Amino acid sequence: MSEPVAPADDKLKETIEDKLYLVKYKPDKQSHIEVIQEVFKADKLKVVLYICPAKVYTLNEETGECLVNHENCLECGTCAIAAPEYVKWRYPRGGFGVQYKLG
C-alpha cells in the first residue's frame, strides 16, 4: 500500500501578507485605535507588537513609541484584550473598516 500524497494546494503556500492583501476595507482618516504611549513605554513585554495578526503595531526604535497603522486592522479586538491598559480600541466609524460580505 502506498503512502497518501497531500494534494498540491497553492493556498497552503500563501504567506500572511498574501492573505491580508485579499481583505477588503475602506480606510478612515480617523484612527479607531489609540495607544497611551507612556504606559506602552513602561510595558516590558510590549505584547501588541507580537499578537496582532495584521501587524498594526510597530515600534519606533528612536522614540520607543508604538506606531499604529490602523488601516490594516482586521477588527478582531485581540489588542484590546491583550493590552487594555494602554490600547484603547473601538470599531471604526460606520461605513469604514473591513468590508464584510455574505457568500
**Domains contained in the chain, CATH given:** 25-93 (3.30.70.20)
Alpha-carbon distance 53 to 72, whole Å?
A: 10
Alpha-carbon distance 51 to 53, whole Å?
A: 6
Site of grid cell 510597530: 58
Dump strand ranges (E) for the chain.
Answer: 25-26, 33-35, 57-59, 66-68, 87-89, 97-98
The pLDDT of residue 20 = 73
Can you list the residues of the chain whose pLDDT is less than 70? 1-12, 102-103
Q: Is 7 within 8 Å of 61 (Cβ atoms)? A: no
The pLDDT of residue 8 = 60
Does the reported pTM lie above 0.85? no
